[in-house]
Amino acid sequence: MSDVVVFAGTTEGCEICSFLAKNKVSVLACVATDYGSKSLKENEYLKIHAGRLNGAEMENLLKELSPGLVLDATHPYAAEVTENIRAACQNTGFSYQRVLREAGAYQDKAVYVENTEAAVEFLEGTKGNILLTTGSKELGKFTALSDAGERIYARVLSLPSVMETCKGYGFEGKHLIGMQGPFSMELNAAMLRQYDCKYLVTKDTGKAGGFQEKIDAALMCDVIPVIIGRPLQEEGLSVAECKHMLTEHFGLTLKPHVTLLGIGMGSEKTLTMQGKRAVQRADLIIGARRMADSIREPGQPVVYEYRSDVIGAYIKSHPEYENIVIALSGDVGFYSGAKKLLDVLNGRKPEGVLADDFEGQEHSEKENGCVSIEIICGISSVVYFMSQIGLSWDDAKITSAHGKNCNLVSMIKQNQKVFSILGTGSAVAELAQKLVEYVMGDVVLYVGENLSYPDEKIFQANASELTSYEGQALSVVCAYNEKARPAFSTHGIPDEKFIRGKAPMTKEEVRCVSLSKLRLQEDSICYDVGAGTGSVSVEMALRADQGQVFAVEKKDDAVALLYENKQRFAADNLEIIKGEAPEALKELPVPTHAFIGGSSGNLKEIVALLLEKNRDVRIVINCITLETISEALEILKEYDFADQEAVQLTASRSKEIGRYHLMMGENPIYIITCQSPRAQI
């Protein structure tokens, strides 16, 4: 008793039989010869019947087994066999389904003929050697060609009976090639060159029959393909569609193998051998169009998609695909979408995605089919590009400005080499303009566009020469700054490093303690209220180099100093807001941290607005006058902050008087820190 009978003998038939047996569905594979069964191995669920069957024998077999399904996965040219199988099913009342082989990709330079006789007729009027790849069954018909023995090199199966048959037709020695496929494009090309062929005769045997590899080899060697057309125009299911049908019919629970593949820069030459093998095994390729098309093989199913949640949903709803490759640009560990995909495939909510956005996608392992995941690394853009320009990357600052905030100018000021992925055609010009603005126009920019593609472009120029450059979106840059100087490694830049005027400045010692109390992160969004000369603003910007700092100041002379110090320290992520708080804060992005150095009597209103914007904002207040201290303490009491602290700091500096040093006291400062109010706001 078998649940399914598969008339196989083809790659597709063997694949379906293996699929059923692996999922514990009993199947009988019917093959015409023992040779046709070599790709299959009997087990508890898979049995093999070897031997040709006529129509009556097929009917008797079906009556004996009473299968739920009969699948016809025979060769596309076995028209008579297909008719017999269909008739047997009709006569016995069993369900019949045709499984079709995908047609190969036809080429404009090929010659198409209806049948073997038409191929012989066409070749009769030509000159040049012929590689014949249609097998031994129709070899006798090609003896009608007047000079067949001299021109034809026949490639057939290396079975003794086949070789003997071919010898009977007069083909032997170097004109008879006994080999078993499949054959790669390279091997086909080598044979065409070896025998100096001008024509290649083949049938459109589809992907599984190696058709495309023959066509590609012929065109590469300037050989004309002669294609004998298919005898039937059939309707049926592809292998993938058949697997889907079988999955639903038998209620199978599958565990697809998903490979996250780093494809390198995009061209085939940057795909690793491990990656190529994964692609060859795949029955589905998923990825953005550019990436998927760069690796997919002819006739291979493809889904053009890059959104992680959509990919996860598609895989779940298409269990027929057992081996899926998701193409990712560059390397999966270098600014890649692999991280979010892993979250989705494992049923976790991706970082940065709201729960509502992920509704319906958060599956347990059981619900998402227990996806088996493999990760294959690729060649990253930084490795490829730096090798092309002859610079090492182990000592480079590496980042990405593609779709994210990135303070490139500050990085370039502090690092001799900075590599970054760009995301727009104007990105190079925008970077160059900023470097000129920050007096760094002599920085050398190495620019790479469309890396690894035929239109790849790599060049170098000073930033001052590229302020109007319009390039490609697929680009990277390496900035080389010989004058780079690292930033101060600790809080407290010396006061004399800042440009100072009459505006007040938070002194080095106080600034150091105040900033440590803020506990900034690299991506913090910070306010500096009452910024003065900008000493705190600048240090904030240098610490939160992937975030943003807003310096709020109402006095004109202080605003001017702010701009000068912003340029001096290349604090490109520092934005200067002229105005008085709290009004000037209302339209700014939500803060994570705020420093209040001057409030103009509006301290309570400023704190209230900050908490309205973000209840968990971390606030540090500097108080000099007793009145401000009193107001700050009242605020702590009113909001009952879970995290609150008051520190009084007195600093003295030495001053030389003759041969003596006297300690001169600075004004005492109260540093108030608060976060997370318990009281209702």
DSSP labels for 629-659?
HHHHHHHHHHHTEEEEEEEEE--EEEEEETT
Q: What is the pLDDT of residue 488?
A: 65
Question: pLDDT tens across 204-260, in order?
Answer: 776 667 887 898 899 889 999 999 876 556 788 988 889 999 998 998 888 889 999
Q: What is the pLDDT of residue 368?
A: 43
Q: Is the dihedral of CA 405, 520, 512, 620 positive or negative?
A: positive
Q: What is the pLDDT of residue 529?
A: 96
- In the chain, the amino acid numbered 617 is V
Closest C-alpha among 319, 264, 259 to residue 286: 259
Residue 75 to residues 7, 80, 208, 341: CA-CA distances in angstroms?
10, 10, 10, 39
In three-state secondary structure terms, 188 is: helix
- For residues 6 and 30, the answer to whether their CB atoms sit within 8 Å is yes
Helix (H) or strand (E) holding 452: none
| Measured distance CA(640)–CA(170) in Å, rounded | 102
Tokens, residue 77: 């040219």
Q: What angle do CA 37, 43, 49 make, to 5 degrees?
A: 40
| Measured distance CA(642)–CA(373) in Å, rounded | 44
| Other beta carbons within 10 Å of 503 | 18
Q: Name every residue whose Cβ is closer than 8 Å to that of residue 193 and which is 6 or more positions away in sequence.
A: 221
Give the chain's residues under pLDDT 50: 350, 352-369
- For residues 170 and 177, the answer to whether their CB atoms sit within 8 Å is no
Q: What is the pLDDT of residue 365?
A: 35
| Measured distance CA(483)–CA(478) in Å, rounded | 15
Question: pLDDT tens across 569-602, in order?
Answer: 999 999 999 999 999 999 999 999 999 999 999 9
Q: Residue 100 carries which DSSP code?
A: P
Q: Name every residue whose Cβ is closer than 8 Å to that of residue 675 and which is 6 or more positions away in sequence.
A: 616, 617, 618, 619, 641, 642, 643, 644
- In the chain, the amino acid numbered 564 is E
- For residues 48 and 42, the answer to whether their CB atoms sit within 8 Å is yes
- For residues 582 and 550, the answer to whether their CB atoms sit within 8 Å is no
Q: What is the pLDDT of residue 206?
A: 67
In three-state secondary structure terms, 13 is: helix
Closest C-alpha among 478, 475, 416, 485 to residue 450: 475
Tokens, residue 457: 């472009």
User: Which residue matches tokens 């070896």?
Assistant: 194
Where b means 16+ CB within 10 Å and e means fewer, 387-415 reads eeeeeebeebbbbbbbeeebbbbbbbbbb
Q: What is the pLDDT of residue 489?
A: 58
Q: In what order do the strands lie in the sheet with 641-649?
A: 574-578, 548-553, 525-529, 593-596, 618-623, 669-677, 641-649
Helix (H) or strand (E) holding 109: none
Main-chain dihedrals φ then ψ at residue 578, nearest 5 degrees: -85, 120
- For residues 132 and 188, the answer to whether their CB atoms sit within 8 Å is no
User: Which residue matches tokens 């090309």?
Assistant: 189
| Other beta carbons within 10 Å of 657 | 9
| Measured distance CA(240)–CA(243) in Å, rounded | 5
Q: Give the CA radius of gyration of the chain.
A: 37
Q: What is the pLDDT of residue 678?
A: 92
| Measured distance CA(312)–CA(363) in Å, rounded | 10
